[in-house]
Amino acid sequence: MIKCPEFQVQNVDIKTSQVEDNLSRISFDEKTDQTILETNVELNEEIKSNIYIKAKRLIRLIIKWCWSLLISFLYLFRFNKNKTGDINQPRIVQCVPTLIKGDAIGNDVEEIAKELDRLNYRNIIVTINTLKTNHNKVVPLLNYWPKKDDIIIYHMCIGTPLSKFVKKAKVARKIMLYHNITPSKYFLNNHHAFMAAKRGREELAALKDYIDVAYGDSSYNKQELDSLNYKNTGVLPVFYLDNDLKEIEIDPLTKEKYDDGLTNIFFVGRISFNKCYGDIIKTFYIYHKYFNPTSRLILVGKEVDPAYKMFIDTLIEKADMKESVFLEHQIHLQELAAIYTCGNLFLCESEHEGFCVPLLEAMHFNKIILAYNSSAIPDTLGDAGALFNCKNHYYIASLMDLLLKDKAIEKTMLMHGKKRLNYFSYKNVAKQFDEFADKYFKID
Protein backbone atom coordinates (compact mmCIF):
# COMPACT_ATOMS: atom_id res chain seq x y z
CA MET A 1 0.00 0.00 0.00
CA ILE A 2 1.32 3.45 -0.96
CA LYS A 3 1.16 6.01 1.85
CA CYS A 4 0.24 9.58 0.95
CA PRO A 5 2.52 12.33 2.36
CA GLU A 6 1.09 14.26 5.30
CA PHE A 7 0.54 18.03 5.10
CA GLN A 8 -0.05 20.52 7.89
CA VAL A 9 -2.59 23.31 7.25
CA GLN A 10 -1.50 26.67 8.61
CA ASN A 11 -4.09 28.94 10.24
CA VAL A 12 -4.82 32.02 8.10
CA ASP A 13 -6.45 35.06 9.73
CA ILE A 14 -8.79 36.72 7.21
CA LYS A 15 -10.54 39.96 8.20
CA THR A 16 -14.06 40.72 6.99
CA SER A 17 -13.12 44.26 5.94
CA GLN A 18 -10.39 42.91 3.65
CA VAL A 19 -12.87 40.58 1.92
CA GLU A 20 -15.41 43.39 1.45
CA ASP A 21 -12.70 45.69 0.13
CA ASN A 22 -11.63 43.09 -2.45
CA LEU A 23 -15.23 42.46 -3.52
CA SER A 24 -15.89 46.17 -3.98
CA ARG A 25 -13.12 46.35 -6.57
CA ILE A 26 -14.92 43.84 -8.80
CA SER A 27 -17.76 45.22 -10.90
CA PHE A 28 -20.10 43.12 -13.01
CA ASP A 29 -21.75 44.43 -16.11
CA GLU A 30 -24.76 42.87 -17.89
CA LYS A 31 -22.62 40.98 -20.39
CA THR A 32 -20.39 39.49 -17.69
CA ASP A 33 -23.43 38.47 -15.69
CA GLN A 34 -24.96 36.75 -18.73
CA THR A 35 -21.66 34.95 -19.41
CA ILE A 36 -21.54 33.68 -15.85
CA LEU A 37 -25.13 32.53 -16.12
CA GLU A 38 -24.41 30.63 -19.35
CA THR A 39 -21.29 29.12 -17.80
CA ASN A 40 -23.32 27.96 -14.81
CA VAL A 41 -25.88 26.37 -17.13
CA GLU A 42 -23.10 24.59 -19.04
CA LEU A 43 -21.55 23.41 -15.78
CA ASN A 44 -24.91 22.10 -14.57
CA GLU A 45 -25.41 20.26 -17.86
CA GLU A 46 -21.87 18.81 -17.62
CA ILE A 47 -22.50 17.71 -14.02
CA LYS A 48 -25.78 16.08 -15.06
CA SER A 49 -24.02 14.38 -17.96
CA ASN A 50 -21.27 13.05 -15.66
CA ILE A 51 -23.86 11.80 -13.17
CA TYR A 52 -25.72 10.09 -16.03
CA ILE A 53 -22.52 8.40 -17.29
CA LYS A 54 -21.60 7.23 -13.80
CA ALA A 55 -25.12 5.94 -13.22
CA LYS A 56 -24.99 4.01 -16.51
CA ARG A 57 -21.66 2.46 -15.51
CA LEU A 58 -23.04 1.49 -12.10
CA ILE A 59 -26.13 -0.09 -13.68
CA ARG A 60 -23.97 -2.03 -16.14
CA LEU A 61 -21.78 -3.25 -13.29
CA ILE A 62 -24.84 -4.40 -11.30
CA ILE A 63 -26.29 -6.16 -14.37
CA LYS A 64 -22.94 -7.84 -15.07
CA TRP A 65 -22.67 -9.01 -11.45
CA CYS A 66 -26.26 -10.33 -11.45
CA TRP A 67 -25.63 -12.09 -14.77
CA SER A 68 -22.48 -13.76 -13.41
CA LEU A 69 -24.46 -14.91 -10.36
CA LEU A 70 -27.23 -16.30 -12.56
CA ILE A 71 -24.71 -18.12 -14.78
CA SER A 72 -23.11 -19.66 -11.68
CA PHE A 73 -26.47 -21.06 -10.54
CA LEU A 74 -27.26 -22.27 -14.05
CA TYR A 75 -23.91 -24.09 -14.17
CA LEU A 76 -24.69 -25.81 -10.89
CA PHE A 77 -28.17 -26.96 -11.92
CA ARG A 78 -27.24 -27.73 -15.51
CA PHE A 79 -24.27 -29.95 -14.81
CA ASN A 80 -25.73 -31.57 -11.72
CA LYS A 81 -28.55 -32.73 -14.02
CA ASN A 82 -26.67 -33.45 -17.22
CA LYS A 83 -28.97 -34.84 -19.91
CA THR A 84 -26.10 -36.66 -21.61
CA GLY A 85 -25.41 -40.14 -20.31
CA ASP A 86 -26.87 -42.80 -18.10
CA ILE A 87 -27.70 -41.52 -14.61
CA ASN A 88 -26.36 -44.78 -13.15
CA GLN A 89 -22.91 -44.12 -14.60
CA PRO A 90 -20.35 -41.86 -12.89
CA ARG A 91 -19.84 -38.32 -14.12
CA ILE A 92 -16.43 -37.86 -15.83
CA VAL A 93 -14.79 -34.54 -14.97
CA GLN A 94 -11.83 -33.44 -17.08
CA CYS A 95 -9.66 -30.88 -15.29
CA VAL A 96 -7.28 -28.70 -17.32
CA PRO A 97 -5.75 -25.28 -16.42
CA THR A 98 -6.79 -23.61 -19.69
CA LEU A 99 -8.70 -24.97 -22.66
CA ILE A 100 -7.21 -23.54 -25.86
CA LYS A 101 -8.62 -24.60 -29.22
CA GLY A 102 -5.88 -25.72 -31.61
CA ASP A 103 -3.47 -26.53 -28.79
CA ALA A 104 -2.44 -30.23 -28.61
CA ILE A 105 -3.76 -30.66 -25.05
CA GLY A 106 -6.87 -28.60 -25.78
CA ASN A 107 -7.67 -30.78 -28.80
CA ASP A 108 -7.16 -33.91 -26.71
CA VAL A 109 -9.57 -32.65 -24.01
CA GLU A 110 -12.26 -31.78 -26.56
CA GLU A 111 -11.96 -35.10 -28.41
CA ILE A 112 -12.14 -37.06 -25.14
CA ALA A 113 -15.36 -35.15 -24.36
CA LYS A 114 -16.78 -36.20 -27.75
CA GLU A 115 -15.77 -39.81 -27.15
CA LEU A 116 -17.35 -39.75 -23.69
CA ASP A 117 -20.58 -38.48 -25.26
CA ARG A 118 -20.46 -41.34 -27.76
CA LEU A 119 -19.97 -43.81 -24.91
CA ASN A 120 -22.95 -42.22 -23.12
CA TYR A 121 -21.01 -40.90 -20.11
CA ARG A 122 -22.08 -37.71 -18.36
CA ASN A 123 -19.08 -35.41 -18.57
CA ILE A 124 -17.90 -31.83 -18.03
CA ILE A 125 -14.63 -29.88 -18.45
CA VAL A 126 -13.39 -27.89 -15.45
CA THR A 127 -10.87 -25.08 -16.10
CA ILE A 128 -9.38 -22.16 -14.22
CA ASN A 129 -9.21 -19.83 -17.22
CA THR A 130 -12.44 -19.88 -19.25
CA LEU A 131 -11.65 -16.78 -21.34
CA LYS A 132 -10.02 -18.69 -24.19
CA THR A 133 -12.89 -21.06 -24.90
CA ASN A 134 -16.62 -21.11 -25.59
CA HIS A 135 -17.00 -24.89 -25.30
CA ASN A 136 -20.46 -25.77 -24.01
CA LYS A 137 -19.15 -28.30 -21.48
CA VAL A 138 -16.74 -25.92 -19.74
CA VAL A 139 -17.37 -25.15 -16.06
CA PRO A 140 -15.22 -22.62 -14.15
CA LEU A 141 -13.39 -24.23 -11.23
CA LEU A 142 -15.20 -21.98 -8.74
CA ASN A 143 -18.56 -23.32 -9.96
CA TYR A 144 -17.69 -27.02 -9.79
CA TRP A 145 -18.90 -28.98 -6.77
CA PRO A 146 -17.34 -32.47 -6.69
CA LYS A 147 -19.67 -35.42 -6.10
CA LYS A 148 -18.65 -38.63 -4.39
CA ASP A 149 -19.30 -40.67 -7.56
CA ASP A 150 -17.34 -38.32 -9.89
CA ILE A 151 -14.25 -39.55 -11.73
CA ILE A 152 -11.66 -36.82 -12.25
CA ILE A 153 -9.31 -36.92 -15.24
CA TYR A 154 -6.53 -34.44 -14.50
CA HIS A 155 -4.52 -33.29 -17.55
CA MET A 156 -1.17 -32.59 -15.88
CA CYS A 157 1.03 -30.23 -17.90
CA ILE A 158 2.10 -27.25 -15.73
CA GLY A 159 2.10 -25.91 -12.19
CA THR A 160 -1.43 -24.79 -11.31
CA PRO A 161 -3.85 -24.48 -8.34
CA LEU A 162 -5.79 -27.36 -9.93
CA SER A 163 -3.25 -29.76 -8.45
CA LYS A 164 -4.19 -28.75 -4.90
CA PHE A 165 -7.88 -28.99 -5.80
CA VAL A 166 -7.50 -32.49 -7.28
CA LYS A 167 -5.47 -33.56 -4.27
CA LYS A 168 -8.25 -32.58 -1.81
CA ALA A 169 -11.31 -33.50 -3.92
CA LYS A 170 -13.52 -36.25 -2.42
CA VAL A 171 -14.45 -38.28 -5.50
CA ALA A 172 -14.71 -41.93 -6.52
CA ARG A 173 -11.49 -42.03 -8.57
CA LYS A 174 -8.68 -39.74 -9.69
CA ILE A 175 -6.95 -40.33 -13.01
CA MET A 176 -3.97 -38.39 -14.34
CA LEU A 177 -3.19 -38.00 -18.04
CA TYR A 178 0.38 -36.71 -18.02
CA HIS A 179 1.41 -34.55 -21.00
CA ASN A 180 4.86 -33.75 -19.55
CA ILE A 181 6.27 -30.59 -18.00
CA THR A 182 9.16 -28.82 -19.71
CA PRO A 183 12.04 -28.52 -17.18
CA SER A 184 12.36 -25.06 -15.64
CA LYS A 185 16.00 -24.73 -16.78
CA TYR A 186 14.69 -23.88 -20.25
CA PHE A 187 12.86 -20.77 -18.94
CA LEU A 188 15.64 -18.84 -17.19
CA ASN A 189 14.69 -15.68 -19.12
CA ASN A 190 10.99 -15.99 -18.30
CA HIS A 191 10.28 -15.86 -14.56
CA HIS A 192 6.57 -16.70 -14.85
CA ALA A 193 7.20 -19.78 -17.04
CA PHE A 194 10.17 -20.78 -14.85
CA MET A 195 8.07 -20.76 -11.65
CA ALA A 196 5.13 -22.53 -13.34
CA ALA A 197 7.41 -25.32 -14.59
CA LYS A 198 9.19 -25.58 -11.22
CA ARG A 199 5.88 -25.78 -9.32
CA GLY A 200 4.60 -28.30 -11.84
CA ARG A 201 7.46 -30.69 -11.13
CA GLU A 202 6.95 -30.29 -7.38
CA GLU A 203 3.19 -30.90 -7.71
CA LEU A 204 3.79 -33.95 -9.91
CA ALA A 205 5.95 -35.53 -7.20
CA ALA A 206 3.45 -34.61 -4.45
CA LEU A 207 0.38 -36.07 -6.22
CA LYS A 208 1.57 -39.66 -6.50
CA ASP A 209 -0.22 -40.83 -3.34
CA TYR A 210 -3.51 -39.19 -4.35
CA ILE A 211 -3.81 -40.47 -7.93
CA ASP A 212 -5.38 -43.90 -8.56
CA VAL A 213 -4.42 -44.24 -12.26
CA ALA A 214 -1.65 -42.38 -14.12
CA TYR A 215 -1.16 -42.60 -17.89
CA GLY A 216 1.32 -40.71 -20.05
CA ASP A 217 0.68 -39.81 -23.68
CA SER A 218 4.06 -41.34 -24.59
CA SER A 219 6.34 -44.07 -23.25
CA TYR A 220 8.76 -41.34 -22.21
CA ASN A 221 6.09 -39.75 -19.99
CA LYS A 222 5.12 -43.15 -18.56
CA GLN A 223 8.76 -43.75 -17.58
CA GLU A 224 8.76 -40.48 -15.65
CA LEU A 225 5.58 -41.52 -13.82
CA ASP A 226 7.16 -44.89 -13.01
CA SER A 227 10.28 -43.18 -11.64
CA LEU A 228 8.04 -41.24 -9.23
CA ASN A 229 6.34 -44.48 -8.09
CA TYR A 230 2.88 -43.77 -9.50
CA LYS A 231 0.57 -46.78 -9.52
CA ASN A 232 -1.47 -48.22 -12.42
CA THR A 233 0.62 -46.50 -15.12
CA GLY A 234 0.25 -46.89 -18.86
CA VAL A 235 0.31 -45.09 -22.23
CA LEU A 236 -2.67 -43.39 -23.90
CA PRO A 237 -1.74 -41.30 -26.99
CA VAL A 238 -3.35 -37.92 -27.60
CA PHE A 239 -6.17 -37.65 -30.11
CA TYR A 240 -4.52 -36.53 -33.34
CA LEU A 241 -6.95 -34.70 -35.63
CA ASP A 242 -5.91 -36.27 -38.93
CA ASN A 243 -9.34 -35.69 -40.45
CA ASP A 244 -9.10 -31.93 -39.79
CA LEU A 245 -5.80 -31.72 -41.69
CA LYS A 246 -7.36 -33.44 -44.70
CA GLU A 247 -10.10 -30.81 -44.84
CA ILE A 248 -7.88 -27.71 -44.51
CA GLU A 249 -7.79 -25.39 -47.50
CA ILE A 250 -4.19 -24.43 -48.29
CA ASP A 251 -3.51 -20.68 -48.30
CA PRO A 252 -2.64 -19.76 -51.91
CA LEU A 253 -0.45 -16.74 -51.04
CA THR A 254 1.76 -18.73 -48.67
CA LYS A 255 2.02 -21.55 -51.20
CA GLU A 256 3.05 -19.08 -53.90
CA LYS A 257 5.65 -17.56 -51.55
CA TYR A 258 7.44 -20.83 -50.78
CA ASP A 259 6.68 -23.04 -53.78
CA ASP A 260 9.33 -21.53 -56.05
CA GLY A 261 11.76 -24.39 -56.64
CA LEU A 262 14.00 -23.80 -53.61
CA THR A 263 14.60 -26.61 -51.11
CA ASN A 264 12.55 -25.81 -48.01
CA ILE A 265 13.92 -27.00 -44.66
CA PHE A 266 11.36 -26.31 -41.94
CA PHE A 267 10.43 -26.76 -38.29
CA VAL A 268 7.21 -26.15 -36.34
CA GLY A 269 7.32 -25.38 -32.60
CA ARG A 270 7.17 -22.40 -30.24
CA ILE A 271 10.19 -20.08 -30.08
CA SER A 272 11.53 -21.43 -26.82
CA PHE A 273 14.96 -22.44 -25.55
CA ASN A 274 14.17 -26.18 -25.43
CA LYS A 275 13.18 -26.15 -29.14
CA CYS A 276 16.77 -25.15 -30.03
CA TYR A 277 16.08 -22.76 -32.88
CA GLY A 278 19.72 -21.67 -32.63
CA ASP A 279 21.01 -25.17 -33.39
CA ILE A 280 18.66 -25.49 -36.37
CA ILE A 281 19.95 -22.18 -37.80
CA LYS A 282 23.59 -23.26 -37.33
CA THR A 283 22.94 -26.57 -39.09
CA PHE A 284 21.11 -24.85 -41.93
CA TYR A 285 23.93 -22.32 -42.30
CA ILE A 286 26.35 -25.17 -43.10
CA TYR A 287 23.86 -26.95 -45.35
CA HIS A 288 23.10 -23.75 -47.26
CA LYS A 289 26.75 -22.73 -47.62
CA TYR A 290 28.42 -26.09 -48.41
CA PHE A 291 25.68 -28.37 -49.75
CA ASN A 292 22.78 -26.46 -51.28
CA PRO A 293 22.82 -22.66 -51.79
CA THR A 294 19.33 -22.85 -53.36
CA SER A 295 17.67 -23.61 -50.05
CA ARG A 296 15.78 -21.73 -47.34
CA LEU A 297 14.82 -22.33 -43.71
CA ILE A 298 11.25 -21.75 -42.47
CA LEU A 299 10.72 -21.65 -38.70
CA VAL A 300 7.09 -21.65 -37.57
CA GLY A 301 6.22 -20.99 -33.95
CA LYS A 302 4.68 -18.69 -31.38
CA GLU A 303 7.03 -16.37 -29.49
CA VAL A 304 7.03 -17.20 -25.75
CA ASP A 305 10.50 -15.98 -24.75
CA PRO A 306 11.34 -12.41 -25.98
CA ALA A 307 14.98 -12.70 -24.90
CA TYR A 308 15.45 -15.94 -26.84
CA LYS A 309 13.69 -14.42 -29.86
CA MET A 310 16.16 -11.50 -29.70
CA PHE A 311 19.04 -14.00 -29.61
CA ILE A 312 17.65 -15.78 -32.70
CA ASP A 313 17.26 -12.48 -34.59
CA THR A 314 20.86 -11.55 -33.73
CA LEU A 315 22.13 -14.97 -34.83
CA ILE A 316 20.36 -14.68 -38.20
CA GLU A 317 21.76 -11.18 -38.70
CA LYS A 318 25.35 -12.12 -37.79
CA ALA A 319 25.23 -15.16 -40.07
CA ASP A 320 23.98 -12.88 -42.88
CA MET A 321 20.99 -15.20 -43.43
CA LYS A 322 18.12 -12.72 -43.49
CA GLU A 323 17.20 -13.64 -47.06
CA SER A 324 17.36 -17.39 -46.41
CA VAL A 325 15.79 -17.79 -42.94
CA PHE A 326 12.10 -16.97 -42.43
CA LEU A 327 10.38 -16.71 -39.04
CA GLU A 328 6.62 -17.26 -39.21
CA HIS A 329 5.20 -16.69 -35.72
CA GLN A 330 1.68 -15.39 -36.43
CA ILE A 331 -0.01 -17.62 -38.98
CA HIS A 332 -3.37 -19.32 -39.50
CA LEU A 333 -3.98 -23.05 -39.97
CA GLN A 334 -4.35 -22.61 -43.75
CA GLU A 335 -0.91 -20.94 -43.91
CA LEU A 336 0.60 -23.70 -41.78
CA ALA A 337 -0.84 -26.32 -44.14
CA ALA A 338 0.74 -24.46 -47.07
CA ILE A 339 4.17 -24.53 -45.37
CA TYR A 340 3.85 -28.27 -44.71
CA THR A 341 2.89 -28.75 -48.36
CA CYS A 342 5.86 -26.75 -49.66
CA GLY A 343 8.38 -28.18 -47.17
CA ASN A 344 10.96 -30.76 -48.25
CA LEU A 345 12.55 -31.81 -44.94
CA PHE A 346 11.33 -31.41 -41.36
CA LEU A 347 14.36 -30.75 -39.13
CA CYS A 348 13.87 -31.07 -35.36
CA GLU A 349 16.75 -30.42 -32.93
CA SER A 350 14.56 -30.01 -29.84
CA GLU A 351 16.06 -31.19 -26.54
CA HIS A 352 12.75 -31.74 -24.76
CA GLU A 353 9.40 -32.94 -26.09
CA GLY A 354 6.56 -34.61 -24.22
CA PHE A 355 5.04 -35.90 -27.46
CA CYS A 356 5.73 -33.57 -30.46
CA VAL A 357 2.55 -33.48 -32.57
CA PRO A 358 4.33 -31.67 -35.49
CA LEU A 359 6.12 -34.97 -36.20
CA LEU A 360 2.73 -36.54 -36.98
CA GLU A 361 1.76 -33.53 -39.08
CA ALA A 362 4.96 -33.93 -41.12
CA MET A 363 4.12 -37.63 -41.62
CA HIS A 364 0.63 -36.64 -42.73
CA PHE A 365 2.08 -34.38 -45.45
CA ASN A 366 4.58 -37.11 -46.52
CA LYS A 367 7.73 -35.23 -45.54
CA ILE A 368 11.25 -36.45 -44.81
CA ILE A 369 11.94 -36.18 -41.07
CA LEU A 370 15.33 -35.76 -39.40
CA ALA A 371 15.27 -35.35 -35.62
CA TYR A 372 17.46 -35.27 -32.52
CA ASN A 373 17.20 -38.42 -30.40
CA SER A 374 15.85 -36.88 -27.21
CA SER A 375 12.92 -37.14 -24.75
CA ALA A 376 9.70 -38.42 -26.41
CA ILE A 377 10.84 -37.88 -30.01
CA PRO A 378 11.87 -41.52 -30.71
CA ASP A 379 8.56 -42.76 -29.16
CA THR A 380 6.48 -40.59 -31.46
CA LEU A 381 8.66 -40.91 -34.57
CA GLY A 382 9.22 -44.67 -34.50
CA ASP A 383 10.84 -45.71 -37.77
CA ALA A 384 9.17 -42.94 -39.77
CA GLY A 385 12.28 -40.76 -39.80
CA ALA A 386 16.02 -40.59 -39.14
CA LEU A 387 17.50 -39.82 -35.72
CA PHE A 388 20.89 -38.36 -34.80
CA ASN A 389 22.54 -38.60 -31.37
CA CYS A 390 24.98 -35.68 -31.38
CA LYS A 391 24.73 -32.01 -32.30
CA ASN A 392 27.53 -31.97 -34.87
CA HIS A 393 26.12 -29.42 -37.31
CA TYR A 394 28.27 -30.48 -40.29
CA TYR A 395 27.29 -34.12 -39.73
CA ILE A 396 23.58 -33.21 -39.54
CA ALA A 397 23.87 -31.07 -42.70
CA SER A 398 25.43 -33.99 -44.56
CA LEU A 399 22.58 -36.26 -43.39
CA MET A 400 20.09 -33.70 -44.73
CA ASP A 401 21.84 -33.72 -48.09
CA LEU A 402 21.81 -37.53 -48.21
CA LEU A 403 18.13 -37.86 -47.31
CA LEU A 404 17.08 -35.25 -49.87
CA LYS A 405 19.09 -36.84 -52.69
CA ASP A 406 18.58 -40.58 -52.06
CA LYS A 407 15.11 -41.39 -53.43
CA ALA A 408 15.23 -45.00 -52.18
CA ILE A 409 15.70 -43.87 -48.58
CA GLU A 410 12.98 -41.24 -49.01
CA LYS A 411 10.53 -43.85 -50.37
CA THR A 412 11.20 -46.22 -47.46
CA MET A 413 10.88 -43.43 -44.91
CA LEU A 414 7.55 -42.20 -46.30
CA MET A 415 6.18 -45.75 -46.35
CA HIS A 416 7.08 -46.21 -42.66
CA GLY A 417 5.56 -42.80 -41.98
CA LYS A 418 2.15 -43.93 -43.27
CA LYS A 419 2.25 -47.02 -41.05
CA ARG A 420 3.30 -44.99 -38.03
CA LEU A 421 0.57 -42.44 -38.70
CA ASN A 422 -1.99 -45.25 -38.77
CA TYR A 423 -1.03 -46.15 -35.16
CA PHE A 424 -1.92 -42.59 -34.10
CA SER A 425 -5.05 -42.39 -36.25
CA TYR A 426 -8.23 -41.14 -34.63
CA LYS A 427 -9.86 -44.55 -35.03
CA ASN A 428 -7.01 -46.38 -33.30
CA VAL A 429 -6.66 -43.88 -30.44
CA ALA A 430 -10.45 -43.96 -29.92
CA LYS A 431 -10.26 -47.74 -29.64
CA GLN A 432 -7.50 -47.46 -27.00
CA PHE A 433 -9.53 -44.86 -25.12
CA ASP A 434 -12.63 -47.09 -25.14
CA GLU A 435 -10.59 -49.90 -23.58
CA PHE A 436 -9.22 -47.42 -21.05
CA ALA A 437 -12.76 -46.24 -20.18
CA ASP A 438 -14.05 -49.79 -19.85
CA LYS A 439 -11.23 -50.55 -17.43
CA TYR A 440 -11.29 -47.46 -15.20
CA PHE A 441 -14.72 -45.81 -15.48
CA LYS A 442 -16.66 -48.61 -13.82
CA ILE A 443 -17.38 -47.95 -10.13
CA ASP A 444 -18.48 -50.83 -7.90
Task: Quick: pLDDT tens for 357-415.
Answer: 999 999 999 999 999 999 999 999 999 999 999 999 999 999 999 999 999 999 999 99
Q: Are residues 220 and 273 in the same domain?
A: no
Classify residue 45: in a domain, yes or no. no
Span 426-436, pLDDT tens digits: 999 999 999 99
Are 301 and 168 found together in one domain? Answer: no
Note whether residue 277 is domain-resident.
yes
What's residue 330's pLDDT? Answer: 82
Prediction pTM value: 0.79
Give pLDDT, residue 44: 57
State how far the alpha carbon of 209 is from the alpha carbons of 196, 222, 231, 320, in Å. Answer: 22, 16, 9, 54
Instruction: Tell me if 271 is assigned to some domain.
Output: yes
pLDDT of res. 246: 66
Q: What percent of the chain has pLDDT over 90?
A: 68
To the nearest whole number, what is the mean pLDDT of the chain?
A: 85
Same domain, 225 and 255: no
Q: What is the pLDDT of residue 33?
A: 45
Q: Is 410 found in the same domain as 273?
A: yes
Looking at the fold, whether 109 and 173 belong to one and the same domain comes out as yes
User: Does residue 132 register a pLDDT over 80?
Assistant: no
CA–CA distance, 399 with 228 (Å, rounded to integer):
37
User: Do both 132 and 236 map to the same domain?
Assistant: yes
**207, 212, 216, 217 alpha-carbon torsion, rounded to 10°:** -120
pLDDT at 14: 39
Domain assignment present for residue 75? The answer is no
CA angle 67, 69, 70 (to 5 degrees): 65
Report if residue 36 sits inside a domain: no
Range of the domain at 200: 84-240+429-440
Q: Per the structure, how many domains does the chain have?
A: 2
CA distance 182 to 304: 13
Alpha carbon of 268 to those of 236, 271, 327, 339: distances in Å? 23, 9, 10, 10
Give 143-153 pLDDT, tens digit per residue. 999 999 999 99
Tell me: do 327 and 342 sit in the same domain: yes
Banded pLDDT at 129 (limits 50, 70, 90):
confident
Domain presence at residue 41: no
What's the pLDDT score for residue 329? 85
Same domain for 345 and 256: yes
Same domain, 289 and 172: no
Residue 134 clears pLDDT 70, i.e. is over it: no
393 lies in the same domain as 434: no
Residue 375 CB neighbours (<10 A)? 23
Domain assignment present for residue 198? The answer is: yes
Mean of pLDDT values over 293-300: 98
- The CATH number of the domain holding residue 93 is 3.40.50.2000
Residue 318 domain-assigned? yes
In terms of domains, do 270 and 225 share one? no
Q: Are 435 and 414 members of one domain?
A: no
pLDDT single digits (tens) 210-267: 999 999 999 999 999 999 999 999 999 999 876 666 678 899 999 999 999 999 999 9
User: Smallest Cα–Cα separation from 388: which of 437, 352, 347?
Assistant: 347
Q: What digits encode the pLDDT tens for the residues 48-58?
A: 566 767 676 77
Q: Evaluate whether 390 touches 373 at the Cβ level (below 8 Å).
A: no
Strand runs labelled E in 157-275: 173-178, 213-216, 233-235, 263-268
